[in-house]
Structures are given as C-alpha cells and as structure tokens.
Amino acid sequence: MLAAAMAVALVGPAAPSSAQVSTTRPALPASSIDVGAATEGPFLLQNVNSTRCLNVAGASRVHGAHMIQFDCWDASYRPYRNNLWYRTPLPDGSGRYYVWSYDSAQCLSVEDSLRSNGANIIQWDCIANFAMQWYFSNSSMIWNANSQRCLSVSGASTDSGANVIQWDCIGHPAMEWRLVPV
C-alpha cells in the first residue's frame, strides 16, 4: 500500500464552490495536443478517502473506457500500468492540464462533455476540448474546466472498482487526490 508515500504539492487556483461556476470560457488551445511538452509523471492518483488509485476499468485501451478506483500498484508491477498517469500543462498559462494514461496515452475526460453531477469520467484521445482539461488545487482537488465539478468517487465509496465521476466541489475526502510519484 502506498499510504506512507509522500504526496506531491498540487498547484493551481482554489477549487470552485457550486456558487462560483463560471460561464466564461477561455480560448481553446491549438487542436494538436503535444502530450510530451513539459509533462510531469508518471504518478499514481490516490484517493484520500479510500487510499485506492484512479484506474482505467479492465485495463482497457478503448475510447470511452470508464475510470474506477482500484488497489494501487506501482510501475514495477508490469501487468497493471493502467493506474499510472502523466499531466501536461496547457501552454497558455491558464493552470489547466491534460491528464493522460501511461497505458493507453488517452486523456481523462468527462463523458459526452456533460456538466451535470454524476457524469462518468472516461478516457478519450487527447484533443482541444474543455471536458478533458483539469485544474489541480492546493487542497488536493482536481476539477474539470468545462463543468467546474470535481473528480470524485461515486457515493464516497471505499470499495475497489467504485466508479469515478464528477460532482460539486464540496471538499469531501472522496474528491481529494494525492499525486504519488513512482
């Protein structure tokens, strides 16, 4: 278990409250995403509530595969690299990042670019889409640039295999994540 691992300090603006959702959108970056430029990682994204890690369900490499939380494995455990992540900042200085899988090279995204609570988090080709751009806060929350909602474990579950969704940023430990270097 990685409970003793030191977390990397997260940087970015404070997480929005549900009353602070902005309807103003910044300009989109170029349509060709260079996921190699200024990239940080690999790391695990470990949920504070469950101590389990963000994982691509079934180690899938297909578009639309759902994110779940699962037991944390480090890079030395070769069969399971679907819980290793990189993040690449957008070059515009906005503080937004693309978060992408070591295993599939696809980005975290909100399914169908939905803005509602409970929308699933999936993987998809990295494109210039707000639904796959994320902010990281000093308080360990990660929220979506399109919906202004936080990455969260559904129902605050601590079970392995629980679905990862977006939800209003209320500061619950189920929506707090540690970046654990591997």
pLDDT tens for residues 37-94? 678 988 999 999 999 999 999 999 999 999 999 999 766 665 568 899 999 999 899 9
The total domain count for the chain is: 1
Whether the per-residue pLDDT at 174 is higher than 90: the answer is yes
Tell whether 129 is covered by a domain: yes
pLDDT class for 182, splitting at 50, 70, 90? Answer: confident
Whether the per-residue pLDDT at 141 is higher than 90: the answer is yes
Tell whether 24 is covered by a domain: no
For residue 75, the enclosing domain spans 32-181
Tell whether 13 is covered by a domain: no
Tell whether 47 is covered by a domain: yes
Average pLDDT, the chain: 82
Of 96, 141, 149, the closest CA to residue 119 belongs to 149
Q: Where residue 125 sits, what CATH number does that domain have?
A: 2.80.10.50
The pLDDT > 70 percentage for the chain reads 76
Whether the per-residue pLDDT at 138 is higher than 90: the answer is no
pTM of the entire predicted model? 0.80
Tell whether 132 is covered by a domain: yes
Tell whether 52 is covered by a domain: yes
Distances (CA, A) of 182 to 15, 49, 151: 26, 20, 21
CB 119 within 8 A of CB 165: yes
